[in-house]
Amino acid sequence: MNILYIFAHPEPKSFNSAMKEAALRTLNELGHEVKLSDLFAMRFKPVLDRSDFLQPKRTDVFNPFLEQMNASKNGTFSRDIMDEMEKVRWADMLIFQFPIYFTGFPAMMKGWIDRIFAAGFAFNPATQSAYGTGLLKGKKAMLVMTAGAEGSLYSKGGMHGDIHELLRYMTHCTLEYTGLEVLPPHIIFGAGKMSEERVDREMHTYTAKLRSAVPSDRE
């Protein structure tokens, strides 16, 4: 299986970075082909703006949707967008790993989605009739997240609310809208204050989850 691992965390020595490295090792051991988009290391530009379009359809007014449709048709996105789109085309599965910020994507990850999941590439309202019929249909996706708060705060009746309801705009309104089949997320709560023993335990749990969710290509 071809797997694109999209990672957004600014600190190479973080627990998130260690998780990412463990995931890459595990996926390679399972025989998968893996490409990494480490967005902070790449200095990825998260802002969708005029510079994304090499041959804009209009210069008098900026309409991002129309420009994306035009660039998707003509292959005239900026080079960094085209490179990431090529990875998405290649991939059978996309794994997004990031820390939860204000119950959502951090800006870097959201910016990747804004720019790469472009109209005409990932979705097209003119041709898709329902969720699950987007232009990325046939591919899978999984969210891997860490949260500073404990799980009880993200439960029904908890201060933040049910985490699965909060994630719905990511899993349903974003990923499923583009046609992706979304696997159950992997979430680690209380990530900022873990003992060494718990760190080891969480690493083992995560790699075991990957082995289950993405079976070996060597079998």
Which stretches of 18-163 are assigned E, i.e. beta strand?
Answer: 33-38, 93-99, 140-146
To the query of whether residue 154 is one of the catalytic residues in this protein, the response is yes
Residue 119, beta-bridge partner list = 123
What are the domain boundaries of the chain? 2-213
61-120 tens-digit pLDDT: 999 999 999 999 999 999 999 999 999 999 999 999 999 998 899 999 999 999 999 999
CA–CA dist 82, 76 (Å, integer): 8
The residue type of 213 is A
196-216 tens-digit pLDDT: 999 999 999 999 999 998 877
On the 0-12 / 13-18 / 19+ scale of CB atoms within 10 A, 32 is: buried
To the query of whether residue 5 is one of the catalytic residues in this protein, the response is no
Residue with tokens 């996309």: 94
Q: 2-213 is classed in which CATH architecture?
A: 3-Layer(aba) Sandwich (3.40)
Q: Compute CA distances 75 → 58, 72, 137, whole Å.
A: 16, 5, 20
To the query of whether residue 160 is one of the catalytic residues in this protein, the response is yes
3-54 tens-digit pLDDT: 999 999 999 999 999 999 999 999 999 999 999 999 999 999 999 999 999 9
Closest CA to 185 of 144, 148, 153: 144
CA–CA dist 4, 145 (Å, integer): 16
Catalytic: which of 160, 161, 164, 190? 160
Tell me the residue length of the chain: 219
Catalytic: which of 148, 169, 172, 204? 148
Catalytic: which of 32, 134, 154, 206? 154
